[in-house]
Amino acid sequence: MSDVAEEVGVSLATVSRALRGLEGVSEDTREKVREVAARLDYIPSPEASGLAGRSTGRVAVVLHDLPSWYGSSVTVGLERELRPAGLDLLVRCVDDPADRVRFFATMPLRRKVDAVVVIAIALTPQEVAKLREGGVAVVAAGSHGEGFPCVAIDDELAAQQAVNHLLQLGHERIALLNTVAATDRAWQAQRDRENGYRAAMAAAGVPVDEDLVVSWSGGSRGGAQGMDQLLSGRRLPSAVFAFSDEVALGAMRSLRRAGIEVPRQISVIGIDDHPLAELTDLTTVAQDPVALGRASAQVTLDLLQGRPARDVGTFPTRLVVRGTTAPPAP
């Protein structure tokens, strides 16, 4: 506020009145104060007078897809750990590209929260810079943190577990149904899971058919569209490794509609152990996003209490064999 007042050439009280929309300030002065405040990224907090120098008691959770099982499960884990510590969650979903640009451009969380937990978002360099400028603790949950403390599984290992299972069953024509990020910057999990797929194939001496490597939007719809592309190819795969269970379920929907039996004709495996995986008997590599959320909350509490962020290690994954994988048909 002092910077704004100095540049405009008015008192602190005038800046305060102008930004709060009170009387006693000319329209020209009010407009100039707003322009300078916007250029300096000054965002007044409605609680500023009562919270100056003190904790807000809130942690922001920023994620791309709140309705998704993964995002909501991590959020549940965060809430279960932060609520007993007296902290409330402020959840912001940035699924619309334009809204996401506006959110990171203005950083409305400044001075309204003590920390930000980013769930499974591929941050751009500009977004990373804005988070660093915010002056609050930042933790990355479910992804690697661009220099921030992070809590995540080993995505490359999880992919190797999935592909090795298919290879041990005797499959060689294994397709990869990957997903794409909401931004033009690849999400670390996408790169790591593709690297794991390729590493497992190379270790087994099985060449990768690049026609079988498909990237599409996330979720079941993207899985169905990606599977449609594979079904349009010159030769079908004998097995499909999907980026996630939701992608795998979409792929199975396309296979069912095409009259292709799973697993007799094509095996399918995913990653997550989504609740629908057990219901649909989907073979998967399981992880625990609720526990991951709790661990992310513990790291957040470390930072807020002035301690070094604890090293929670890589979160474990495990193969869960169900009914969608089998040896390839003769």
pLDDT band for position 158 (cuts 50, 70, 90): very high
Please tell me whether residues 270 and 294 are part of one structural domain: no
Give per-residue pLDDT as tens, 270-314: 999 999 999 999 999 999 999 999 999 999 999 999 899 988 889
Flag whether 323 is in a domain.
Answer: no
Per-residue confidence (pLDDT) for residue 184, from 0 to 100: 46
Please tell me whether residues 159 and 281 are part of one structural domain: yes
Flag whether 53 is in a domain.
Answer: no
99 contact partners, CB below 8 Å, separation of at least 6? none
* pLDDT surpassing 90 at residue 70: yes
pLDDT band for position 50 (cuts 50, 70, 90): very low
Average pLDDT rounded to a whole number, residues 1-11 = 88
Task: Name the average pLDDT for the chain.
Answer: 89
HEC string for the chain: CHHHHHHHCCCHHHHHHHHHCCCCCCHHHHHHHHHHHHHCCCCCCCCHHHHCCCCCCEEEEEECCCCCHHHHHHHHHHHHHHHHHCCEEEEEECCCHHHHHHHHHHCCCCCCCCEEEEECCCCCHHHHHHHHHCCCEEEEECCCCCCCCEECECHHHHHHHHHHHHHHCCCCCEEEEEECCCCCCCCHHHHHHHHHHHHHHHHCCCCCCHHHEEEECCHHHHHHHHHHHHHCCCCCCCEEEECCHHHHHHHHHHHHHCCCCCCCCCEEEEEECCHHHHHCCCEEEECCHHHHHHHHHHHHHHHHCCCCCCCCCCECCEEECCCCCCCCCC
Flag whether 327 is in a domain.
Answer: no
Per-residue confidence (pLDDT) for residue 100, from 0 to 100: 82
Average pLDDT rounded to a whole number, residues 80-92 = 93
The domain containing residue 73 runs over which residues? Answer: 58-152+289-315
* pLDDT surpassing 80 at residue 150: yes
Please tell me whether residues 187 and 251 are part of one structural domain: yes
Flag whether 190 is in a domain.
Answer: yes
Please tell me whether residues 161 and 283 are part of one structural domain: yes
Per-residue confidence (pLDDT) for residue 66, from 0 to 100: 79
For residues 238 and 172, is the Cβ–Cβ distance under 8 A? yes
Q: What is the C-alpha to C-alpha distance for residues 299 and 149, in angstroms, rounded to an integer?
A: 8
Flag whether 328 is in a domain.
Answer: no
34: domain CATH number is: 1.10.260.40
Q: How many domains does the chain have?
A: 3
Residue type, 221: R
Per-residue confidence (pLDDT) for residue 112, from 0 to 100: 80
Please tell me whether residues 187 and 307 are part of one structural domain: no
Give per-residue pLDDT as tens, 19-34: 877 777 888 898 898 8
Flag whether 198 is in a domain.
Answer: yes
Flag whether 321 is in a domain.
Answer: no
Per-residue confidence (pLDDT) for residue 161, from 0 to 100: 98
* pLDDT surpassing 60 at residue 182: no
Query: Comparing 134-138, 150-154, 186-190, 198-202, which segment has the lowest mean pLDDT?
Result: 186-190
0.75 surpassed by pTM: yes
Per-residue confidence (pLDDT) for residue 113, from 0 to 100: 87
Please tell me whether residues 67 and 144 are part of one structural domain: yes
Please tell me whether residues 175 and 281 are part of one structural domain: yes
Average pLDDT rounded to a whole number, residues 153-164 = 97
241: domain CATH number is: 3.40.50.2300
Please tell me whether residues 148 and 295 are part of one structural domain: yes
Per-residue confidence (pLDDT) for residue 2, from 0 to 100: 86
Please tell me whether residues 182 and 239 are part of one structural domain: yes
Q: What is the C-alpha to C-alpha distance for residues 110 and 304, in angstroms, rounded to an integer?
A: 15
Per-residue confidence (pLDDT) for residue 108, from 0 to 100: 60
Average pLDDT rounded to a whole number, residues 150-170 = 97
Please tell me whether residues 31 and 74 are part of one structural domain: no
Flag whether 188 is in a domain.
Answer: yes
Per-residue confidence (pLDDT) for residue 11, from 0 to 100: 86
Portion of the chain with pLDDT greater than 70, in percent: 93
Per-residue confidence (pLDDT) for residue 51, from 0 to 100: 42
Please tell me whether residues 145 and 171 are part of one structural domain: no
Please tell me whether residues 293 and 283 are part of one structural domain: no
Per-residue confidence (pLDDT) for residue 53, from 0 to 100: 47
